[in-house]
Amino acid sequence: MKPRIFIGSSSEGIAIANQVKDFLEKMKKIDCIVWNNIGVFPYNKSAFESLLISRLLYDFVILVATKDDFVRSRGLKTNAPRDNVIFEFGLFLGALGESRTMLLQEEGTKLPSDFNGITLPRFSIQKKNIDKTLEGISSYINDILKLNEFQILPSTSLAVGYFNNFLKQATSSLIENSESLKIKDSFHPCSKIKVIIPNELSDNIAEKAKVFYNKHGIEISEIQNSKRPFKVQFAYDNSDPKNLTIVDMPTTINTIRHCCTLLLKKSGVGTSGNQKMVEEKEISNFKSTLENLIEQNDYCKKVVTILFESDYL
């Protein structure tokens, strides 16, 4: 799924907002949504309520601060951005963090003193230097996309827990025990783990996993774990008898749907468009977090492959 960037501005700054959108979409495989797009502020919702929902939908936010208002402060008359631009910057900053929320400042625009000492991306309409600034923003976004940060919704935390509690232990066991797996009192060669990420969530990932296993002829067995007083179930693909493959669809991601339902205050049956967008974002982040963690672990790099459900062969 492409990362989504929300671009906000005043009505007077909409031309700059669209310029930011056009530039970034050419430079990267991303989707940019400007605040006046249809659906950003849906019917029968207050602007504030819509913004609260928006903070869950986007990976980055860029607020354009242009010289729209005249303000008098301590006897001096200066140019300032509209109040709503600063308010929205604070709202998204609290939700996404300082690394994913940017204020693009027109030179000469007065900002609150809290911004003193902070390096902000700036541009000048007279100097026509915005493209150079946007190149810097584009490079910055590319760097941040390589990281997986903790945010309001739980996908990063879930991926870290799944990695530490299952993948690290499983890969260590396979490699340190001559890559053998005990099934029904006999040992079988096994040196692969495939983690299957569902293309979309459901109300019960365990049931979704069973349907997937049955479809692909994947069998379920269990092993006694010395660290636990009960047997642990796992699924395996024995289509290649010379090298079995452990297959796992992480049921821990059930938590994502539950959290989305609570945060979006769902009150009806079915899944709204906004909830689908948030769930897609969280699934994608879960997968990329696992990929980054695996890349840093020598055992996992050797053993684990992560696939979307539709890519499984």
Give the whole-angstrom CA distance, residue 30 versus residue 6. Answer: 11
Walk along the chain (313 residues) and give the pLDDT tens digit of each residue. Answer: 788 999 999 999 999 999 999 999 987 688 999 999 998 998 888 999 999 889 889 999 999 999 987 777 777 777 889 999 999 999 999 888 899 999 999 998 988 888 888 899 999 988 888 999 999 999 999 888 887 777 777 899 999 999 998 898 888 877 777 556 777 767 777 888 999 999 999 889 999 999 999 999 998 887 655 554 445 678 888 887 778 888 999 999 999 988 888 887 766 666 778 888 889 999 999 999 999 999 999 999 999 999 999 998 7
Question: Which domains, and CATH codes, for the chain?
Answer: 4-144 (3.40.50.10140), 155-311 (3.40.50)
- What pLDDT, on the 0 to 100 scale, is given for residue 229? 46
Q: How far is CA 133 from the centre of its chain?
A: 25
- What pLDDT, on the 0 to 100 scale, is given for residue 125? 85
- What pLDDT, on the 0 to 100 scale, is given for residue 230? 46
Q: How far separated are the first and last CA of the chain, in Å rounded?
A: 21
Residue 210: both structure tokens together: 């069973």
DSSP letters spanning the chain? ---EEEEE--STTHHHHHHHHHHHHHHSS-EEEETTSTTTS-TTS-HHHHHHHHTTT-SEEEEEE-S-EEEEETTEEEEE--HHHHHHHHHHHHHH-TTSEEEEEETTB---GGGTT----EE-TTTT-HHHHHHHHHHHHHHHTT-----SSSHHHHHHHHIIIIIHHHHHHHHHTTTEEEETTEEEEEEEEEEEEPSS--S-HHHHHHHHHHHTT-EEEEEE-TTSSSEEEEEEE-SSTTSEEEEE--GGGHHHHHHHHHHTT--SSS--HHHHHHHHHHHHHHHHHHHHHHHT-HHHHHHEEEEEGGG--
- What pLDDT, on the 0 to 100 scale, is given for residue 180? 67
DSSP letters spanning 119-167? ---EE-TTTT-HHHHHHHHHHHHHHHTT-----SSSHHHHHHHHIIIII
**Going by DSSP bridges, is the β-strand pair 244-248/231-237 parallel, antiparallel, or unpaired?**
antiparallel
Q: What's phi and psi for 26, nearest 5 deg? A: -80, -35
The crossing angle, in degrees rounded to 10, of helices 130-144 and 14-27 is: 50
